[in-house]
Amino acid sequence: MKRSQDYYHNRKLLRELKEDGVKYRPKVADMEIWFTILNEQIFGNKLMRVKKFQIKHDDELHAYYGYYDKKHKKHGKTRIVMDNKFPSKKKFVEILAHEMIHHFQAQYDEPVGHGPTFTAWRENFKIKGINLYKV
């Protein structure tokens, strides 16, 4: 499937994602596609692109958001790192969306964390059919 077809197919499926128990192994291209979809449907296209997407195995964390150049965080030197396996595609999308909230917080000078500026997204996530996790 071509990238544009894949994008629109996935966009349609955001609300249809289910916990199906099928293990999912994302690629960087999956992160880029879902970032675009989530940015449009949840964040109103207000997020700048993350400069670096990475996939790596981590027994401790499923994902994290951070700066790979702390001196230039205002200039978009940011990254999202995701584990190389998830219990389902829906869980992968939900965790990516979680990390995107942290990107939004940093971009708009809000405290980066799981406080009120994080939980404020819960209803918007629910409307789109995905869960907001604090972990």
pLDDT recorded at residue 28: 94
Q: What is the DSSP string of 30-54?
A: HHHHHHHHHHHHTTTT-PPPPSEEE
pLDDT recorded at residue 121: 96
- Looking at CATH, the fold of the domain delimited by 3-14+22-127 is given as Zincin-like (3.30.2010)
Mean pLDDT (the chain, rounded): 83
pTM: 0.84
Q: What tokens were used for 99?
A: 């990390």
Residue pair 105/112 in contact (Cβ under 8 Å)? The answer is yes
- List the single range of 7-11, 93-97, 98-102 with lowest mean pLDDT: 7-11
* pLDDT confidence band for 9 (50 / 70 / 90): low
Q: What is the mean pLDDT of residues 75-103?
A: 89
Domain boundaries defined on the chain: 3-14+22-127
Residue pair 104/43 in contact (Cβ under 8 Å)? The answer is yes
Q: What is the mean pLDDT of residues 10-23?
A: 76
Q: What is the mean pLDDT of residues 8-31?
A: 80
